[in-house]
Amino acid sequence: MSQIRITTPLTKDIIAGLKAGDEVLLSGAIFTARDAAHKRMHELLLRGKRIPLNLKDAIIYYCGPCPAPSRRVIGSCGPTTSSRMDAFTPELLRLGLGGMIGKGDRSLEVVRAIKKYQCVYFLAAGGLGALLSTKVRSARPVLFRELGPEAIYRLEVKDFPLIVGIDSKGNNLYDKTRWKKS
Amino acid sequence: MTDAVDRRLSMREIDVTKIRDAVRELCLKANFELRGDVLRAIRKAIPKERNARAKSLLKSIVENAGIAKSKRLAICQDTGIVFVRLELGQEVALVGGDIEEAINDGVREAYSKGCLRKSVVGDPLTRSNTNTNTPAFISPEIVPGDRVRIDVMVKGFGSENKSQVKMFKPTETVEDIKGFIKAVVKGAGPDACPPFVLGVGIGGTFDVAGLLAKKALLRPVGEPSPKKNLKKLERELLKEINSMGIGPMALGGDTTVLGVNIIDAPTHIAGLPVAVNVSCHATRSAGKII
């Protein structure tokens, strides 16, 4: 299967060209965020405040990396389970977030929001954190630094390997698998 | 001389700093070097895998293990919560300090020195990170002899979250148990990073079954249970689960489990506890005898 090369920002044009099952090599800037950071963002919105990050056409990567060893920009940095972020996802998509990267299936509410706001959900292979760290060019914490591994980092990635899990039409790659249907 | 003093003189003294150093070394090894048996099982699965994407993912797992080992990077960023099985010979006297403290010192040093993620919160409800990856969970066993065996498992939570215990009725059958184990695997799906290693504990009590399941993960993949009926059950489950079509990333394939390791124990006339501890393809542990 051929690989599609894309670069951030993740515009609606790029998103429209992606179909569930496509293999993608992503380059550009992405933000990491996992459980604690999502809860913090949610609490900001609840209090009527804005999230101090430009989420428009941005990508959130569900990841809590290992600290960078000397002479490396980041430690092991694979995806964590996406479904734990399901409850917080639709409001971020409404705010303009273009896509997410993680592992595993999403809730129906998330699939609906992806379709409604024309977004995309990418799968990264779990448990390959060492390999994926070689695709990261720079990393720096940008928000909630006190959360340590759960802080929001801005990563520059080059040819980061992904598979389109849910496309902007709401097609879900997992719905096509034999094990899920049985 | 009294018997008590005699016995004390025949004890082998081991300084707890030796245990600390061993724990540090084993935490680093477990995180950087994929277990030989797990790597062999993945390599063995590659030529048999018929799904092209699954085959390529299995090759990536081997590549990832190579990068981790050569560059001293964690195999997975979820460097786990540390489980320590401590087999303590009854003729050993631990001297020089507190054993629990020594083990936690070893963990702390490894996670700091090895640039490993600190994934432990000190309080499950207020959830503030201990920033040391301690405390470790220690399971001591007293055994004959004058040696100490330490096994360190670094257990990721993507798969831990999918583990289950079920209290069966004593009249339920082996087929019922198999159905439950398969349902756990299906529920684990992509989140727990297949292909899995399954640790299964049958019997005991609610808590004992869980501990047996965890300890079963320490047994090398490919080494069957010494009990004939369990060996048969392991083989059947391996075959039946691999025909479910889940595969790596749960995107389809013939490779869903690398191994099924079962340990049993006596239980009560009224019950039949069964625990399944799901472990990902990065099933990580390392052991040492002192």
Tell me the pLDDT tens digit for each residue of B107-156: 999 999 999 999 999 999 999 999 999 999 999 999 999 999 999 999 99
Interface residue of A81, A122, A146 to substitute, partner B, most B CBs within 10 Å: A81
The answer to whether residues B223 and B92 belong to one domain is no
Domain's final residue, options B106, B121, B155: B155
Tell me the pLDDT tens digit for each residue of A124-153: 999 999 999 999 999 999 999 999 899 999
DSSP per residue, B218-286: TSPTT---SSHHHHHHHHHHHHHHHTS---GGGSS-S-SEEEEEEEEEEE-TT-EEEEEEEE-SS-EEE
**Mean pLDDT score across all residues of chain B:** 96
Whole-number percent of chain B with pLDDT over 70: 97
Pair A30, A155: CB distance under 8 Å: yes
The answer to whether residues B244 and B191 belong to one domain is yes
Task: Tell me: ipTM over 0.90.
Answer: yes
Q: Which domain holds residue A96?
A: 3-181
Interface residue of B77, B79, B117, B197 to substitute, partner A, most A CBs within 10 Å: B77
d(CA A159, CA A134): 10
Predicted model pTM? 0.94
B114 dihedral zone (left: phi>0; alpha: psi -120 to 50; beta): alpha
Pair B197, B277: CB distance under 8 Å: no
Tell me the pLDDT tens digit for each residue of A64-115: 999 999 999 999 999 999 999 999 999 999 999 999 999 999 999 999 999 9
Element containing residue A114 per DSSP (H, E): helix A108-116
The answer to whether residues B169 and B228 belong to one domain is yes
Is residue B57 in some structural domain? no
Question: Helix or strand or coil: residue B169?
Answer: coil
Tell me the pLDDT tens digit for each residue of A9-42: 999 999 999 999 999 999 999 999 999 999 999 9
Q: Which domain holds residue B99?
A: 3-31+75-155
Domain's final residue, options B110, B128, B155: B155
* Among A38, A40, A106, A135, the one annotated catalytic: A38
Q: What residues pair up with B154 in beta bridges, in sequence order?
A: B82, B284
The answer to whether residues B116 and B244 belong to one domain is no
The answer to whether residues B27 and B148 belong to one domain is yes
Write the CATH number for A143: 3.20.130.10
Tell me the pLDDT tens digit for each residue of B157-174: 999 999 999 999 999 999
Residue B2 pLDDT exceeds 60: no
Domains of chain A: total: 1
Q: Which residue of B has its CA nearest to A172?
A: B251
| Contact between B245 and A72 using a beta-carbon 8 Å cutoff | no
The answer to whether residues B93 and B119 belong to one domain is yes
The answer to whether residues B133 and B182 belong to one domain is no
Domains of chain B: total: 2
Domain's final residue, options B155, B174, B198: B155
pLDDT class of B246 with cuts at 50, 70, 90? very high
d(CA B107, CA B104): 5
